[in-house]
Amino acid sequence: MSTSHIGKADLHIHTSYSYDGTATVKVMLQYIAQHTDLDVIAITDHDEIDGALEALELAPYYGLEVIPGIEISTAEGHVLALFVRKLVPPNLSLVETVHRVAEQGGICIAAHPGGRWSWCLSETAIQRALRHPGVAQTLLGLETYNASLPDLRMNDQAAAMNKRLALATVGNSDAHMPWMVGLGVTCFPGNHAIHLRTALQQRLTTTAIMPRPHYYMASYLKGQILRYCGLVHCTTTPGGRAVLRRLSVTKNWPRNQPVAQNSR
């Protein structure tokens, strides 16, 4: 491994397998390959693994390295599971969730912690979990920057929280649309997923931030309205333009409804 290379990873990306993802796996991968310089990405759909597994299979065709993951809705808030290939059920306690991820050889990252919403892990919940045997070996990182928060100042709170918790610092986009990928990035010595994992364990990661474009909210809302109607960016034309198509089976908004099957 060349330690002089600083790798870039975006470890929080949604596809149309998420109830609120607006582009298929293929469209996401094509965009990332053409428009970003990320070394590693993770696909982390809400309580779904199929999109991540599809991305893992397709990654070599796009020259990308993909970590399969899930954004798990624990009873205490959202947590990212990385390096997993089997679904972990939602609504378990944070401790039980972390143990289930560890059983698969995976690791966990606290997603957008500290917000006032029920899907954000509180500092107390993370601290309490870390006191349980084995949890600290798996719950390695915390998003000190999430580019999709309605109010980006929430990230300051997460960064302050991590000064006390001393987990690895992680920057992610939480992209629900292709152009959002890379707005938040985790930097690490090396250029492969294995190096990233080591860097998380050794607390060697840093974050990099891209400014959010002015059309962010309008574009995001438009995407979510279309998604609510079952329309996602499904295929790309030879010129690279994504076209909208209705999912063959729509996963209803919000989650915990029948599982989506993407048109391939």
User: Which residues of the shown chain bind Zn ion in the complex (CB under 5 A)?
Assistant: 71, 78, 111, 174
The CB-of-14 to Zn ion minimum distance in angstroms stands at: 6
Phi and psi, residue 2, nearest 5°: -90, 105
Using the minimum distance from each CB to Zn ion, give the nearer residue, 184 or 189.
184
The CB-of-238 to Zn ion minimum distance in angstroms stands at: 31
- Residue with the CB atom nearest Zn ion in the bound state: 78
Q: Which of 10, 25, 60, 4 is nearest to 247 (CA)?
A: 25
The CB-of-176 to Zn ion minimum distance in angstroms stands at: 7
The CB-of-117 to Zn ion minimum distance in angstroms stands at: 9
CA distance 62 to 197: 22
The CB-of-72 to Zn ion minimum distance in angstroms stands at: 9
Using the minimum distance from each CB to Zn ion, give the nearer residue, 101 or 191.
101
CA distance 251 to 243: 19
Using the minimum distance from each CB to Zn ion, give the nearer residue, 9 or 236.
9
CA distance 82 to 11: 8
The CB-of-202 to Zn ion minimum distance in angstroms stands at: 26
The CB-of-251 to Zn ion minimum distance in angstroms stands at: 15
Using the minimum distance from each CB to Zn ion, give the nearer residue, 13 or 191.
13
The per-residue DSSP string of 148-203 comes to T-SSTTHHHHHHHHHHHH-PEEEEE--BSSGGGTTSEEEEEESSSHHHHHHHHHTT
Using the minimum distance from each CB to Zn ion, give the nearer residue, 24 or 236.
24
- List, in order, residues 6 or more apart from 18 with CB less than 8 Å away: 45, 46, 48, 51, 71, 176
CA distance 148 to 208: 14
Reported residue count of the chain is 264
CA atoms within 13 A on the CB side of 201: 10
Using the minimum distance from each CB to Zn ion, give the nearer residue, 39 or 71.
71
Which burial class, exposed, middle or buried, applies to 221 when counting CB atoms under 10 A from its CB (0-12, 13-18, 19+)? Answer: exposed
Using the minimum distance from each CB to Zn ion, give the nearer residue, 47 or 174.
174
